[in-house]
Amino acid sequence: MRGHDEVLSYFGKLRAASAARDSLLCIGLDPDQRLIAGGLSAAVDFCRKVIDVTADVACCYKPNAAFWEQYGPEGWQGLSTVRKAIPPDIPVLFDCKRADVPNTMSAYASAVFDAMEFDAATVHAYHGSESVSVFTRYAERGTYVVCHTSNPGRADLQLLACEQGALFMAVADLAVRCDNGGNTGVVIGATAAAEAAAVRLRFPTLPFLLPGIGRQGGDVDAAVRASFTGDPASCLIAVAGAIMYAENSRSAAVAWRDGIRRALPPNRALHPTGHGDLQNAGG
């Protein structure tokens, strides 16, 4: 691994891409076989076309592992082809939600960061800090820990009471403890603005990835108000199907980007500098 370098780091790259495009929009690359006929090659071509028309609008792309694994072994090659089609100044976040004991997590991390060369990834925290830390050990890559999700079933576990309050708050605390020089954030569903605001209050500089906008019904204005701190990395809004399968993907991406812009506080430009030190993001 290279030593940590802000120029090469995931969050440094994200901040620069955000400032260059005046955007907080992360576009999902999730091919649905029910909507894209023609198998893997058609899915790859479809995603490459989305990239071609949105690369000046998106500050990040987020392929979800499941939508590529459904094609079998060849799906990984297709994913690699799509990953290489993304301009090098735009970070690529692999939404794989890996979770296991440290030995297995080491293999997962090597696959994601060494073999596939993604800039960042999502992980689950159920195995504890020793497992999450296997990913955050890659100091120049980003790791988002799933904290509070966008689906209704989240209440089964994520709202359980614990010492820190609700379980999702304990997960946010774990993410901060696993941070390695500012390379760790959390996933919080955009359908849970109140919970996002609570996490933001306790952890003022923790980066958020907010899925659940678009087809899942997340409120852009509420998500941005609950999350944005002035740091472009503080509030990465993910939209997938509502852009991919729109009649005009470019127009949809521009509309989402501009909608997110309008939700920002007045006079808050997206500058790549001025972000906080995540290591000091205590509550």
Which residues form the catalytic set?
A: 97
Residue position matching structure tokens 């199907």:
241
SS3 assignment, position 15:
helix
Distance between CA 176 and CA 170 in Å, rounded?
A: 10
Distance between CA 180 and CA 137 in Å, rounded?
A: 7
Residue 49 · residue 244 · CB < 8 Å: no
Residue position matching structure tokens 């500012």:
182
Q: Exposed, middle or buried: residue 3 (CB in 10 Å: 0-12, 13-18, 19+)?
A: exposed
Residue position matching structure tokens 């774990």:
174
Pairing verdict, β 142-148 and 120-123: parallel
Q: Exposed, middle or buried: residue 225 (CB in 10 Å: 0-12, 13-18, 19+)?
A: middle
